[in-house]
């Protein structure tokens, strides 16, 4: 038999030496200095420490040292902890499905030690002497007794010194330091009772004292300006509990770095969780904006699998939908309070005061001309062209009073609860007034409404505001009953492309819910027979075409609600009053009144802000009246 023949039959598969397999594991666990910090700090937390110090040199390239005052280790454990799959945190199969510690895989320390010069000094409480172990590239060089305080100190020098390819991927000192600071910030947010200190090149960068109130830690870590925008979240649905804070949508980031979600004390960057947070902000954020949230989720340990990825940032929930919806609802509830117009609202009384004409205001959401045939149709509030405007301060209430007189003269019945619109069950019984109490100063460029509030100056984008009003009114009405529709004298026919026709065919029955009646008319042609009374019947063809485009954009596979919300946005945008359009006092005051009825009077359906405010203090600062 020739040698080469023998060769081909010899076994090619071999078990890798431990040092090599640890190096491979390090590829997953240790991506950069911040990963080392995360693993070491997690170990310190699991060890019950109350003080954790992190020292960094050269962004972690030169040195990373984490010292804690936790339970420490005896010599045997200190040696064992460097072995792969050696852990004190789980012992049996069932433990794997009820993990309450941050670590459990027993691979962090051997992985780190495989790609650095590693030094461990530790002393268990009750032990007279500590242990010191030196490791280089995964090989133990020295084990010795040493004097040491109770706790553990691990020093990682020359990270990736023996894997030059990895070292090449390290970014600048500032970038790596940024990641480290983020990692520590996340841990600190979740463990307010632990004191943390981070230093870089022997200079203390961050120091957070232990606090008993988690809100104080949030303020320490995220800054006072964030704290001021935060409002509490406290929501529970069966076994899932969500607590923490969400920031008003006026405070956003351009990256997801302000999203801190902790599941059972673990910081996760989970896709489902993130999606739920965004869903809770729905309609409040513009494309590319990210919210700031600090949320602590408690899920029964056996309902979450953290053993999905070596870094444990991703997790899997047994009841994914329940967790998703609970987070979404919690965020949504929290944000409702974040709206400054609601922020200081007193507790709702049992009945709605008579000065809250919800139903009446709803009827005017269209701002459009329509015959007051049955006394329940929208009154004509289309702006009179060229109506001159003065800029003397006027109170919205005066104008409302005048409007009410007008309504009486057009024989509108003074029924505050017209059938099916507001019977106290579908509508909140009470809504605080904010916009209706503003004093109207005037309109700027026919686009922005200028108002005065008790503590400052308010600028309202009239198109965004009206878009929101029409959007919510249609949504609210369709949830209660099919909104009133006006039949077109001659149905408007629309020819679409093949693909668009397919979309509209599917969409048409759902649009009927809003009073938009569209029937197939053979081939790719459709006939629009009725439009919601709230909408302008002027350019129906353009509206329907845009609706189809929107649905195509969202994707026909999305759920109906999402597609219909998209359609509502289009309808609202089409019918909202435009920029460069002069409004009368009455139109402005009705709009303000209607904003008070909206669930989200802060953002248009696309997420653009509706209004901005300058406080008097802020103005005085800018004029150097105060310092
Ligand atoms: N700072 C520390 N104080 C006390 N014991 C520690 C400390 N760091 C590590 N240990 C011990 O060493 C063991 C191994 O640590 P290692 O981080 O490698 O694994 P783990 O934490 O169990 O799991 P994971 O790999 O998921 O982090 C731990 O289970 C723990 O018993
Ligand atoms: Mg660990």
Q: Which residue's CA lies nearest to atom 27 of ligand 1? A: 103
Q: Which two tokens stand for residue 489?
A: 């004298």
Give residue 474's pLDDT: 85
Residue whose token pair is 């269209």: 366
pLDDT bracket for residue 423 (50, 70, 90): very low
Residue 452 has pLDDT above 90, yes or no: yes
Residue 464 has pLDDT above 80, yes or no: yes
The arithmetic mean of pLDDT across residues 605-616, rounded, is 89
pLDDT bracket for residue 370 (50, 70, 90): very low
pLDDT bracket for residue 109 (50, 70, 90): very high
End-to-end alpha carbon distance in the chain? 95
The arithmetic mean of pLDDT across residues 111-128, rounded, is 95
Tell me which of 313 and 469 has the higher pLDDT: 469
pLDDT bracket for residue 9 (50, 70, 90): low
The winner for highest mean pLDDT among 15-29, 346-360, 484-498 is 484-498
CB-based neighbours (< 5 A) of ligand 2, an ion: 43, 103, 108
Q: Which two tokens stand for residue 389?
A: 């405007």
Please tell me the distance between residue 202's alpha carbon and the centre of ligand 2 in angstroms.
26
The arithmetic mean of pLDDT across residues 61-65, rounded, is 97
Give residue 200's pLDDT: 94
Give residue-wise pLDDT tens across range 66-87.
Answer: 999 999 999 999 999 999 878 8
Please tell me the distance between residue 103's alpha carbon and the centre of ligand 2 in angstroms.
4
pLDDT bracket for residue 160 (50, 70, 90): very high
Tell me which of 408 and 129 has the higher pLDDT: 129
Residue 342 has pLDDT above 90, yes or no: no
Tell me if 320 sits within 8 A of 272, measured CB to CB.
yes
Give residue 537's pLDDT: 65
- Closest alpha carbon to 585 in 439, 415, 438, 399: 399
Ligand 1, pocket-test mutation among 49, 106, 107, 312, most atoms within 8 A of CB: 106
The arithmetic mean of pLDDT across residues 598-608, rounded, is 87
The arithmetic mean of pLDDT across residues 531-558, rounded, is 81
Other C-beta atoms lying within 10 Å of the C-beta of residue 227: 16
Please tell me the distance between residue 85's alpha carbon and the centre of ligand 2 in angstroms.
11
Give residue-wise pLDDT tens across range 82-98.
Answer: 998 788 888 888 877 77
Give residue 386's pLDDT: 34
pLDDT bracket for residue 6 (50, 70, 90): low
Tell me if 441 sits within 8 A of 451, measured CB to CB.
yes
Return d(Cα 143, Cα 83) in angstroms, integer. 15
Q: Which residues' Cβ are closer than 6 Å to ligand 1?
A: 39, 43-44, 47, 68, 70-73, 81, 86-89, 103-109, 152
Give residue-wise pLDDT tens across range 224-276.
Answer: 778 878 889 999 988 899 999 999 887 888 788 889 999 999 999 888 899 89
The winner for highest mean pLDDT among 6-20, 429-443, 505-519 is 505-519
Across 65-79, 409-423, 520-534, 541-555, least confident range = 409-423
Provide the edge-to-edge strand list for the sheet that holds 611-615: 394-395, 439-444, 448-453, 456-461, 611-615
Residue 202 has pLDDT above 70, yes or no: yes
Give residue 438's pLDDT: 92
Residue 404 has pLDDT above 50, yes or no: no
- Closest alpha carbon to 600 in 338, 314, 265: 338
Please tell me the distance between residue 104's alpha carbon and the centre of ligand 1 in angstroms.
8
Ligand closest to CA 52: 1
Give residue 338's pLDDT: 64
Ligand 1, pocket-test mutation among 28, 30, 39, 43, most atoms within 8 A of CB: 43
Residue 299 has pLDDT above 70, yes or no: yes
Tell me if 29 sits within 8 A of 39, measured CB to CB.
yes
Give residue 99's pLDDT: 82
Q: Helices marked H in 376-434 — which ranges?
A: 396-409
Residue 281 has pLDDT above 80, yes or no: yes
Tell me if 329 sits within 8 A of 335, measured CB to CB.
no
Residue 295 has pLDDT above 80, yes or no: yes
Burial of 561 (0-12, 13-18, 19+ CB in 10 A): exposed
Tell me which of 585 and 140 has the higher pLDDT: 140
Ligand 1, pocket-test mutation among 47, 54, 74, 103, most atoms within 8 A of CB: 103
Q: What is the mean pLDDT of the chain?
A: 80
Give residue 351's pLDDT: 32
Ligand closest to CA 108: 1
Tell how far CA 134 is from the center of its chain.
45
pLDDT > 70: percent of the chain: 83
**Nearest-5° Cα angle at 362, 360 to 364:** 80
The arithmetic mean of pLDDT across residues 554-573, rounded, is 81
pLDDT bracket for residue 503 (50, 70, 90): confident
- Closest alpha carbon to 155 in 53, 73, 47, 81: 53
Residue 387 has pLDDT above 60, yes or no: no
Q: Which atom of ligand 1 is nearest to the CA of 44?
A: 1
Q: Which residue's CA lies nearest to atom 29 of ligand 1? A: 87
Tell me if 290 sits within 8 A of 274, measured CB to CB.
no
Give residue 255's pLDDT: 81
Residues in contact with 155: Cβ distance below 8 Å, sequence separation at least 6, in sequence order: 63, 64, 65, 118, 119, 120
Provide the β-strand partners of residue 290: 253
Long-range contacts formed by 204-207: CB under 8 A, 24+ apart: 205/177, 205/181, 206/181
pLDDT > 90: percent of the chain: 38
């Amino acid at each position: 038999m020739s040698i080469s023949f023998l060769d081909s039959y010899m076994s090619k598969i071999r078990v890798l030496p431990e040092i090599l397999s640890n190096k491979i594991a390090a590829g997953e666990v240790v991506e950069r200095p911040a990963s080392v910090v995360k693993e070491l700090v997690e170990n310190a937390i699991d060890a019950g420490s109350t003080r954790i110090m992190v020292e960094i040199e050269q962004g972690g390239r030169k040195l990373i040292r984490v010292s804690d005052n936790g339970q420490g280790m005896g010599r045997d454990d200190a040696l064992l902890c460097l072995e792969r799959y050696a852990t004190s945190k789980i012992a049996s199969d069932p433990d794997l499905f009820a993990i309450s510690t941050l670590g459990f895989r027993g691979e962090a320390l051997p992985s780190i030690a495989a790609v650095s010069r590693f030094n461990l000094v530790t002393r268990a409480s009750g032990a007279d002497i500590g242990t010191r172990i030196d490791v280089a590239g995964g090989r133990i060089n020295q084990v010795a007794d040493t004097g040491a305080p109770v706790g553990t100190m691990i020093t990682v020098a020359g990270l990736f010194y023996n894997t030059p390819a990895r070292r090449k991927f390290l970014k600048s000192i500032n970038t790596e330091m940024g990641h480290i600071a983020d990692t520590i910030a996340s841990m600190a947010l979740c463990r307010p009772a632990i004191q943390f200190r981070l230093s870089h090149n022997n200079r203390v960068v961050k120091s957070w004292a232990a606090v008993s109130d988690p809100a104080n830690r949030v303020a320490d870590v995220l800054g006072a300006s964030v704290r001021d925008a935060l409002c509490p979240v406290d929501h529970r649905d069966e076994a899932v509990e969500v607590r923490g804070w969400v920031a008003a949508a006026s405070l956003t980031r351009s990256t997801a770095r302000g999203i801190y979600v902790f599941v059972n004390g673990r910081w996760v960057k989970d896709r489902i969780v993130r999606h739920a947070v965004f869903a809770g902000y729905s309609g409040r954020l513009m494309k590319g904006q990210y919210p700031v949230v600090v949320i602590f989720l408690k899920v029964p340990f056996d309902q979450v699998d953290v053993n999905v990825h070596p870094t444990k940032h991703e997790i899997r929930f047994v009841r994914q939908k329940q967790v998703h919806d609970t987070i979404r609802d919690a965020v949504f509830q929290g944000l409702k309070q974040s709206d400054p117009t609601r922020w200081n609202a007193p507790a709702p009384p049992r009945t709605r005061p008579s000065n809250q004409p919800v139903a009446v205001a709803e009827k005017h959401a269209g701002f459009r001309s329509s015959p007051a045939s049955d006394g329940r149709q929208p009154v004509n509030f289309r702006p009179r062209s060229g109506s001159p405007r003065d800029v003397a301060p006027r109170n919205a209430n005066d104008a409302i009073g005048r409007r009410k007189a007008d309504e009486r003269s057009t024989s509108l019945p003074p029924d505050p609860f017209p059938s099916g619109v507001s019977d106290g069950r579908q509508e909140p019984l009470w809504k605080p007034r904010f916009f209706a109490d503003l004093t109207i100063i005037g309109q700027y460029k026919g686009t922005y409404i200028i108002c005065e509030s008790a503590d400052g100056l308010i600028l309202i984008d009239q198109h965004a505001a009206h878009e929101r009003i029409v959007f919510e009114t249609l949504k609210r009405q369709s949830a209660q009953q099919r909104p009133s529709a006006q039949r077109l004298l001659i149905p408007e026919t629309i020819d679409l492309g093949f693909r668009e026709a397919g979309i509209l065919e599917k969409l048409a029955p759902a649009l009927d819910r809003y009073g938009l009646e569209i029937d197939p008319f053979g081939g790719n042609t459709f006939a629009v027979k009725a439009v919601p009374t709230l909408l302008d019947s002027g350019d129906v063809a353009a509206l329907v075409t845009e609706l189809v485009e929107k649905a195509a954009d969202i994707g026909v596979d999305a759920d109906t609600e999402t597609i219909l919300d998209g359609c509502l946005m289009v309808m609202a945008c089409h019918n909202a009053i435009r920029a460069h359009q002069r409004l009368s006092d009455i139109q402005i005051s009705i709009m303000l009144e209607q904003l008070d009825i909206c669930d989200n009077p802060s953002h248009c359906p696309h997420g653009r802000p509706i209004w901005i405010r300058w406080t008097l203090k802020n103005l005085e600062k800018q004029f150097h009246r105060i310092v």
